[in-house]
Homo-oligomer: A and B are copies of this chain.
Amino acid sequence: MQTFVCVWTEHLIPMTAIALDAMGGDNAPQAEVAGAIAAVDETQVRVILVGDKDRLHAELKSHGRSECEQIEIRHASEVVSMKDNPGKVFRQKTDSSMRIATDLVVSGEAGALVSAGNSGAMLSHCLFLLKRLPSVERPGIIQEFPRPTGIVTICDLGANTVVSPTMLAQFGILGAHYNRILHSQKRPRVGVLSNGTEDSKGTELTRDASELLRQAAGHVDAEFEFVGYVEGSDILADKVDVLATDGFTGNVVLKTMEGVSEAVMRMIKTAMGSTVRAKLGGLLARPALLAFRDSIHYSKFGGTMLLGINGTATICHGRSNAEAITNAILKTNRLLEKNLRQELGHAIARHAELWKSVKQ
């Protein structure tokens, strides 16, 4: 692995590069290049911009910048589009910016990759090229959500529509260690999303996954608690730190939360225009309301992570702006510094006997 050494909070830490698929998002490459520049200006991070070298050079130039120790360009002649078939594209477009960025991680030249491109294609590139961590059945997508107190994460948010009990239990464990590492939660509370809190609720899948999580949480070195079933109304209620669910339900929940937040804010706006008094109140409260709306905007949270692969990969929203890209690079960098991949590897390997017992 090619590394640069820089002085960092009193310790010597290798400055591992992050490969950025600079052509993937709806606003590429402008958002990607501007986001990378802001990231390197903010912290000691090294970014390899992957994509059409002429466009990337021109884009850097438009910011009065050029390649330097912290920003490098790597050419890729193709782009994975949102319409490309995720299962086929990594074989068809072998010179795409996403493919080259993934290859940089496989070869060790970069420590992680970030892309705002086709998320299904990101999943297949990571799965087939980076592969899974030992004993991990399938990787899951995780994201944090703000709640009145702190944050909660949900895994899986859409990588796997149909899952096994082992997969579901592993999503909970991967999520717990992600929260522990990134959000400094000492013993994250893991719950399985269900249609009721009683043990009789749920499906065969949620019951079996809960049993696995109960056993795993009983391990002497387990660094998480298992709180059992959690309902939709508990997601933002500070009863749980990590929610394990299948990718179908997780995706529906993710989008329901987005849609409901938006609808409630629209309805409150309408209510605030209903009387002269309310209108005046709305005007006065406007800056605070806008600050709140901004604080829960996806661009603040640095994208979703793919957990369980043998590497570090961040999947950004397709319509990411420069700020979202910057936050994704900074978060990915923190996870590299904190050895996310290795920590997740240990966390899953710790329960190897449990996973084997299911297969028998």
Selected interface stretch from A67-75, A265-273, A319-327: A265-273
Residues of B within 8 A of A162 (CB): 203
B261–A148 contact, CB under 8 A? no
Residues of B within 8 A of A215 (CB): none
What is the total number of copies of this protein in its complex? 2
Chain A 251-287 interface mask (CB, 8 Å, partner B; 1/0)? 1111111111111111110111011011011111111
Whole-angstrom distance between the Cβ of A164 and the nearest chain B Cβ: 14
B249–A233 contact, CB under 8 A? no
A161–B202 contact, CB under 8 A? yes
- The count of residues in chain A whose C-beta lies closer than 8 Å to any C-beta of chain B is 61
Whole-angstrom distance between the Cβ of A253 and the nearest chain B Cβ: 5
Residues of B within 8 A of A161 (CB): 195, 201-203
Q: Once bound together, how far apart are the Cα atoms of A266 and B249, in whole Å?
A: 25
Q: Is A1 an interface residue (CB 8 A)?
A: no
Q: Once bound together, how far apart are the Cα atoms of A245 and B234, in whole Å?
A: 21
| Set B236, B251, B260, B272: member contacting A288, Cβ < 8 A | B272
Selected interface stretch from A56-64, A289-297, A304-312, A328-336: A289-297
List 19 contacting pairs A-B, 8 Å CB cutoff, sorted by A.
Answer: A161-B195, A161-B201, A161-B203, A194-B248, A195-B252, A231-B259, A232-B252, A232-B253, A232-B257, A232-B258, A233-B262, A235-B260, A236-B260, A272-B285, A274-B288, A275-B287, A278-B285, A278-B288, A280-B284
